[in-house]
Amino acid sequence: MTTEKKIDRNKQDWKRWLNYHSIVQQVPFMLFLAFLAVCYIYNGHHANKTIRDINRSERAVKELSYEYKTIKGELIASSKQSELIKAVEPLGLKELVASPVVLVDSGQTKAE
């Protein structure tokens, strides 16, 4: 008989939680939980978008780094003396064989 009373009491406890008044009292809490769920979902989507943006930026930086290294190597190769001679030869310029002449203004005296 005591087990039947406990079962009845458990049923009454559930009924007490499921009546209209107690459900209305829980509505603000349920709305709060729904708001937290929406914030959690938004945060996940925002994190994924940020990660995609970071990956896109990393790929762009890597590509620009490769381009920089390629252009720098080409510049170093083209600025060698032998390459410069080849580049200015069509202009009629030739490499200077003799040492350069120093021009001195005759109007000035040397200060010692």
Each residue of 44-78: pLDDT tens digit? 999 999 999 999 999 999 999 999 999 999 999 88
* Residue pointed to by tokens 């708001």: 35
> What is the domain partition of the chain in residue ranges?
2-85
Highest mean pLDDT among 16-25, 45-54, 97-106: 45-54
Alpha-carbon gap, residue 95 to 97, rounded angstroms: 6
Residue 1 makes CB contacts below 8 A (sequence gap 6+) with: none
**pLDDT band at 80, cuts 50/70/90?**
confident
pTM value is 0.55
- From the CB of residue 77, how many other CB atoms can be counted at a distance below 10 Å? 9
